[in-house]
Structure 1
Amino acid sequence: MKKLGFLGIIGIVALFSISNLFAIKDTPRVKNSTLIKFSHKLHINDVGASCTDCHGKAASSTSEVDYLIPDMQTCFTCH
C-alpha cells in the first residue's frame, strides 16, 4: 500500500514537471536579457513613468503567465 502511494506521488510530481516544461517553452524570452540593467525605481520615481507606459498589456492581462515585458520598440519611445 505504501509503495502504491509513493508511486502516485511520483506520478503527480512528474505530471506537473512535464506540464511546466511545456508552459516555459511557449513563453518568449528576450535574448541576453541578463545583460540589460533595468531599474523600476529609476523609471517610476525619478523619470515619472507609470506601469502602463511600458507594460501596456497589463490592464487587459487575464493570467499571471501573460508575457508583459515590453519589446524594444516600446523602450525606444523614450530612449
Structure 2
Amino acid sequence: MFRYSSSRNQRSKGFKVKHALQICVLLAISIWLLYQVKHSHDKKKEFEQSTAKFAENGDGRNGIIKHGRKDLNP
C-alpha cells in the first residue's frame, strides 16, 4: 500500500558546494571588471589632462605633436 519513491527522483535540497563556487567566481569576475572599467576611466582622464597641458604649453611648435620618426614634417 505504501509506495517508496525511486532513488532517481530524489534531489538534494541543500546548498551545494558547486553553487557556492560558481557564486564566488561570478563575484570575483564582477569585481575584476569593475576595477578594469575604473582603471581605464582614470587612465583616460590622466591622458586628457596631459594632452591639455601639452596643447596649453605649445612647446614652441604651436601644439603639433610628432608621432615618431616616420611622422611627416609640417
Q: TM-score, normalised to structure 1's length?
A: 0.38
In our comparison, the structure showing a higher alpha carbon Rg is 2
Tell me which protein shows more helix as a share of its residues. Answer: 1
TM-score when normalising by structure 2 = 0.40
